[in-house]
Amino acid sequence: MKRFEVSSGTKRRRQEELLSELDQEKAENRQLRKRLKEAEYEIAELNRKISLDTLAENGKEGDQPTLEVYRSIKSLKRNLKSSIENCETKDRKIQELISEISRLNDELDISISQLNDYKNKESRYNAFKEKIDRLGATEIKNKELEEQYEQSVQDKTLLLIELQKLRLNEKNSEKLEKEIEDMTERYVQALAQISEKQKSNEILKNMLEDKTRELEKMRVLEGEVAMLRNKYETPFSSQRTSLGTDAPPLWIEEYELKLKELQNQNQQLKNTLWNNIEVCTLDSLMAQIETLTSIKEDSFLKYARLQCSYHELEYRSEAIEESLKEQIHNLTRNYTLLEAKLEYQKVLNQELDSRLNNCKSCQELREELKIVEDRCNKLNSRLETRTDIIEQEQKRLKDLRLLYENGVKELDELKQEHYRLKEKFERDIELSENGNSK
């Protein structure tokens, strides 16, 4: 039906276009007739002038071009007559096309009225069809409600499983709390150990400073011993401390022994200090503290997340239980309503079946619609053939215009030939007059 409406609209548009083209062609035919009349008038004037010129001419030279002019004029007249006849035939065809278009418009109006009748019948048929579709939709809704009920039961089972998981998470959270308490105790102990190590490091630093001072003193003493040795080993007898013995004095050896003992003690202190630093440096202690703090924070975060998830699941379970209760209540109410509707719709179905059995006109309507569509297709084909004919006529009009333009060009050429012959004739007359005067 929509296709038929679209085709009728396109036909109307095409008819309007054809009418506008016909009006244009009529105007062009009028202009062509005016131009033909002007051309005939010009040809008559040329004939009159040529007749006057031929009477005045003498000699064989002037006779040949006048004959050619007459022949060209006759050919132009023939072309003009043929163009006039073609224009008349075109006018007749245009009038026939106009009558055909009016007839087609009448047929279109009749077909549109028939279509409106068929539409009314089809609307009734669609109303019955919609009622049947509604019955099917209610059955589908019942199935959907049953599926929703099954899904709600499945959701409830899933919620119970999640509650069991939450209870397990509660137990795990208690374990984590105990671990956090143990970690805090370890953290406090580590801080106490760090403070003790810092104090011992300060004591060792003070000892190092004392030993460094003693080392500086030992270096000064070593310098003094070296000076004394140099004095003892000098070749001069006045610079020696003891002249009878070659061995160094005892107090120098005592100083050397003290120096060695102090160096050994210093080395031992350094080794112990470095061992203590390697065993428990501040960086390692801080790293241990950071690890302990990070573990503590992670455990706190885990515990907080578990608590949040537990509370969320409790809230969700309560909300879901309430929604499930509401859904069950709504489902039971809808089920009762749907049962009542089904009984009512069964009665309607029985009535509709009886009406459909009695109403065999639907098939007849479809057959009539097919017939109308065939008629519309035939009308479309006829319109297409008419449009082809109009296009052919337009091509012929273009050919006639070309012939007219060629005729105008030939007229211009004849005028030029006439003026040339006239000038030649005047020159011949002047020459003859000059000869007679001589």
pLDDT tens digits, one per residue of 180-217: 777 777 777 777 777 787 787 778 777 777 777 777 77
Amino acid of residue 75: S
pLDDT tens digits, one per residue of 378-396: 766 776 776 677 677 667 7
Any domain includes 350:
no
Tokens representing 384? Answer: 């297409």
High-pLDDT (> 90) share of the chain, %: 0
Confidence tier at 2 by pLDDT (50, 70, 90): very low
Q: Are residues 23 and 46 in the same domain?
A: yes
The answer to whether the CB of 108 falls within 8 A of the CB of 383 is no
pTM: 0.26
Q: Are residues 19 and 84 in the same domain?
A: yes
Average the pLDDT over 37-53 and give the result: 65
- Helix 2-56 to helix 63-232 angle, to the nearest 10 degrees? 130
How many structural domains comprise the chain?
Answer: 2
Average the pLDDT over 312-334 and give the result: 68
Any domain includes 353:
no
Give the SS3 label for residue 286.
Answer: helix
Alpha helices (H) along 233-279: 250-279
Question: Greater confidence, 82 or 63?
Answer: 82
Of 299, 316, 342, the residue at which a domain comes to its end is 342
- In which domain, by residue range, is 325 found? 155-342
pLDDT tens digits, one per residue of 125-175: 777 778 777 777 777 877 787 787 777 778 777 877 877 777 787 777 777
218: which residues sit within 8 A by CB, 6+ positions away? 259, 262, 263
408: which residues sit within 8 A by CB, 6+ positions away? 35, 39
Helix (H) or strand (E) holding 320: helix 282-358
Q: Are residues 332 and 226 in the same domain?
A: yes
Any domain includes 86:
yes
Q: Are residues 107 and 159 in the same domain?
A: no
Q: Are residues 223 and 287 in the same domain?
A: yes
Q: Are residues 243 and 275 in the same domain?
A: yes
Which CATH number does the domain housing residue 390 bear? 1.20.1270
Give the SS3 label for residue 229.
Answer: helix
Average the pLDDT over 40-61 and give the result: 58
Any domain includes 167:
yes
Q: Determine the Cα–Cα distance for residues 242 and 228; give it in Å rounded to an integer.
A: 12
Any domain includes 179:
yes
Q: Determine the Cα–Cα distance for residues 173 and 305; give it in Å rounded to an integer.
A: 10
Question: Greater confidence, 109 or 300?
Answer: 109
Of 288, 313, 342, the residue at which a domain comes to its end is 342
Of 342, 372, 391, the residue at which a domain comes to its end is 342
Q: Are residues 132 and 205 in the same domain?
A: no
Name the DSSP class of 248: P
Question: Greater confidence, 185 or 311?
Answer: 185
Q: Are residues 161 and 249 in the same domain?
A: yes
Q: Are residues 48 and 104 in the same domain?
A: yes
Any domain includes 298:
yes
Tokens representing 143? Answer: 């199935």
Q: Are residues 362 and 404 in the same domain?
A: yes
Query: Tokens 């009477």 — which residue?
Result: 55
